Amino acid sequence: MSDGRESLVRGKAIEAAWRGQAECLGCGIRETALFADLREQDFALIHLPIDEIDFEVGTALYHVGDPGQAVYTIRSGLVKLVSYLADGGQRIVRLLRAGDTAGLEALLGLEYEHTAIALRQTATCRIPREVVTRLSENTPRMHAQLMQRWQRSVQQADAWLTRLSTGNAKARVARLLLLLREGQGGEQCMLFGREDMGAMLGVTTETASRIVAEFRRTGILTEVGQNRYDCDVEALTRLADS
């Protein structure tokens, strides 16, 4: 799953299936997570441990090309999926939030297609591929949830292409800010490094920095804490639609 470059902090490991059942049944994000539709009797099918793993900012859940041995349900935090280009650059192809699932390709026996890196302190549940496969084979509720996950991944990829990869640079930054605000609720959003912003939007780091500085200067963004901003939603919407 990982190599020496990672520094991950393990939460309490779920050492037996019955303990995993109790944790999953009481999970605070269960309604939006991979096990959302399961019933109590379904958890009897779990025969491998499910690990709770916390990842520090900048550490990888897995790397592109690693054997796909597990999927990850994001319990809290923010994860970027990174593709590396032939010229040595990188492109962030999607963001995952609480309730999303990372590494679905592992269920097909494939290597991981991206490198998944925590953009914020992130809590996950690492679910072995065998657990999901067994549940999918034995309960239609798991199969239906997996189909929904695949569909959501396709929709997110389509939205990423149309919202963040088209239009002028200022419109792309505005759309990203609105997207980040959706994940926070209210009128605020949290930003991260300008290099990451550029990798998400297909613009240079300098362009991303210049536009954020302009938004701050004109009052579209007002800093209220470290990397946290109040957003002028109307102004951002106008720019996003331009």
Residue 7 has what pLDDT? 36
User: What's the whole-number mean pLDDT along residues 48-67?
Assistant: 89
For residue 178, what is the domain's CATH number?
Answer: 1.10.10.10
Q: Identify the CA nearest to 71 among candidates 126, 13, 144.
A: 126
Both 76 and 149 in a single domain? yes
Which pLDDT tens digit goes with each residue over 144-159? 666 777 677 777 777 7
With 0-12 / 13-18 / 19 or more C-beta atoms within 10 angstroms meaning exposed / middle / buried, residue 186 is: exposed
Sorted by sequence, the CB contacts under 8 Å of residue 88 that are 6+ apart come out as none
Residue 169 has what pLDDT? 93
**Mean confidence (pLDDT) of the chain:** 78
Where among 128, 163, 198 does a domain terminate?
A: 163
Phi, psi of 62 (to 5 degrees): -165, 165
Residue 153 has what pLDDT? 75
Which one is predicted more confidently, 130 or 115? 115
Domain housing 220: 166-241
How many residues can be counted in the chain?
Answer: 242
With 0-12 / 13-18 / 19 or more C-beta atoms within 10 angstroms meaning exposed / middle / buried, residue 242 is: exposed
Both 144 and 206 in a single domain? no
User: What's the whole-number mean pLDDT along residues 79-85?
Assistant: 90
Query: How far, in Å, CA of 49 to CA of 72, rounded?
Result: 13
pLDDT band (50, 70, 90) for residue 51 = confident
Least confident residue range of 29-33, 168-172, 183-187:
29-33
Task: Give buried/exposed letters for 204-229 (b at 16+ CB in 10 A, else e).
Answer: eeebbebbbeebeeeebbeeeeeeeb
Distances (CA, A) of 45 to 18, 130, 132: 10, 11, 10
Cα angle for residues 97, 103, 107 (degrees, 5° grid): 135
Least confident residue range of 24-33, 102-111, 152-161:
24-33
Both 127 and 155 in a single domain? yes
Both 105 and 84 in a single domain? yes
Q: Radius of gyration over alpha carbons of the chain, in Å?
A: 19
User: What's the whole-number mean pLDDT along residues 191-219?
Assistant: 91
Instruction: With a cut of 60, say whether residue 15 has pLDDT above it.
Output: no
Residue 175 has what pLDDT? 92
The secondary structure element, H or E, covering residue 42 is none
Cα angle for residues 129, 133, 139 (degrees, 5° grid): 145
Would you say residue 116 lies in a domain?
yes
- pLDDT > 90: percent of the chain: 33
pTM of the model: 0.70
Start-to-end CA span in the chain (Å): 43
Would you say residue 142 lies in a domain?
yes
Would you say residue 109 lies in a domain?
yes
Which one is predicted more confidently, 159 or 48? 159
Number of domains in the chain: 2
Query: How far, in Å, CA of 107 to CA of 130, rounded?
Result: 8
Pairing, β 79-84 against β 115-118:
antiparallel
Both 109 and 215 in a single domain? no
Would you say residue 44 lies in a domain?
yes
- pLDDT > 70: percent of the chain: 74
pLDDT band (50, 70, 90) for residue 212 = very high
Where among 119, 145, 163 does a domain terminate?
A: 163
Residue 54 has what pLDDT? 93
Both 86 and 44 in a single domain? yes
